[in-house]
Amino acid sequence: MTMIEDGVCKWHSVEYDPHDIVQGPPSVGEKSMYGDNCSNVIREWTLKGYAFTPIPCNLGAAIDGMKSIQPYFD
């Protein structure tokens, strides 16, 4: 928590199951929402892990929303 509070770990790492991912090029609506630099949109995936990290893999990645994580924490 100290590293998060100090701003050292300010990025996120997301682990997902690559076998159930639904992704592809952005639609016209997604391009207008995410910008012209958006080249891929992950639409569905199963979350396996989520953590803060000081060294992100993709600085340009953004988490726009999450449907539900509750089943993984019951």
Using the 8-state DSSP alphabet, how is residue 32 labeled? H
pLDDT digits over 18-37, tens only?
888 899 999 999 999 888 88
Query: Containing H/E element for 3?
Result: helix 2-5
Average pLDDT of the segment spanning 61-72: 63
User: 25, 41 in Cβ contact below 8 A?
Assistant: yes
30-43 burial: b if 16+ Cβ within 10 Å, else e: beeeeeeeeeebee
pLDDT digits 0-9 by tens, 40-53:
998 888 888 888 88
Structure tokens at 40: 């891929």
The model scores a pTM over 0.85 = no
The CA distance from 30 to 48, in Å, is: 25
